[in-house]
A and B are shown apart, each in its own frame.
Chain A
Amino acid sequence: DVKVTQSSRYLVKRTGEKVFLECVQDMDHENMFWYRQDPGLGLRLIYFSYDVKMKEKGDIPEGYSVSREKKERFSLILESASTNQTSMYLCASTRVRLFGPQHFGDGTRLSIL
């Protein structure tokens, strides 16, 4: 079974802090993704990556950056956290570059106070 692991299930941070959300997959998947999920807005793509050191902006990249130094790990960074970034964050991966089933981690519920 594919395993996508997010470092924290719940996280509370303060406004202005730099926040790191970590995601690791154990199946040598090519693609990795970060989404946020908000009531009434559904799932929205923040950033994705096709390969090590490669990244592409999704639909809502503002206020976020990412890092993929190793194939199995994809980090989401909130450079200066704000209250409107309080959300559920979901990491996902797919095995192949083009298409294929997308597998999600358990999510991180992030609260910015």
Chain B
Amino acid sequence: GIQVEQSPPDLILQEGANSTLRCNFSDSVNNLQWFHQNPWGQLINLFYIPSGTKQNGRLSATTVATERYSLLYISSSQTTDSGVYFCAVERSETSGSRLTFGEGTQLTVNP
């Protein structure tokens, strides 16, 4: 099956800093999503981005499908950004949003 690698595994920032999280995948995909899991365990969908660039406030994401990677940018980080960021992908055209998740990047933003 498809492999998903996220880097870095851990990241510690001071409030106000910027960061870039990376997701590499081993095959072409039809579906790529970024999620944030907060310290209470809630998983929030940040972006559905199989290709191109999207922005939502201080967060933006870019997927370069031909080179099999995606980047999540966090600008002016806040303590509420802390948690685990997951990238998830799907290759199949028939299985209907059956995602394979990476292992995540644990982000800690200190005040």
Contact = CB atoms under 8 A, between A and B. Distances in A.
B25 interface: no
A103 interface: yes
Interface in B10-52: 30-31, 33, 35, 40-45, 48, 50
A100 B48 contact: yes
Contacts of A73: none
B90 interface: yes
Q: Which of B40, B48, B98 has the most CB of A within 10 A?
A: B98
Given A42-B103, A42-B104, A45-B98, A99 B30 contact: yes
Nearest to A101: B48
Contacts of A99: 30-31, 48, 50, 90, 96-97
Contacts of A50: 96
A31 interface: yes
Contacts of B50: 99
Interface in A54-91: 58, 88, 90
Which bucket holds chain A's interface residue count? 20 to 34
B29 to A, nearest CB: 10
Given A99-B90, A102-B33, A90 B97 contact: no
Contact of A98 (B48, B96, B103): B96
A102 to B, nearest CB: 6
B56 to A, nearest CB: 12
Given A101-B48, A104-B44, 15 more contacts: A33-B97, A42-B102, A42-B103, A43-B86, A43-B88, A48-B98, A97-B96, A99-B31, A99-B48, A99-B97, A102-B99, A104-B42, A104-B45, A106-B40, A107-B42
Interface of A: 30-31, 33, 42-43, 45, 48, 50, 58, 88, 90, 92, 94, 96-104, 106-107, 109
Closest 8 pairs (CB-CB, A-B): A101-B48, A104-B43, A43-B101, A99-B31, A94-B97, A107-B41, A101-B45, A97-B96
Interface of B: 30-31, 33, 35, 40-45, 48, 50, 86, 88, 90, 93-94, 96-99, 101-104
